[in-house]
Amino acid sequence: MTPWGEMLRTAARLGVGPEGFWRLSLREWRMLTERSGGAVPLGRLDFERMAKAWPD
């Protein structure tokens, strides 16, 4: 399940309104929300969501 509410709140904190949010490409979203210092490790909850969404 995609955490749309969390993503919209993050966009609002960054000054991106709803219309702008929905126009962003995935690449643009990642650029806006990536943390400096490299990639963030995948958390357990996100891993479990991915495993459920795409089981082998």
What tens digit of pLDDT does each residue of 31-49 get? Answer: 888 876 666 677 888 888 8
Burial 19-34 (b: 16+ CB within 10 A, else e): eebeebeeeeeeeeee
Q: What are phi and psi of 32, to 5 degrees?
A: -70, -35
Q: What percent of the chain has pLDDT over 70?
A: 91
pLDDT of 23 > 90? The answer is: yes
Distance CA 26, CA 31 (A): 9
User: Is it the case that residue 20 has pLDDT exceeding 90?
Assistant: yes
Q: What is the pTM of this model?
A: 0.56
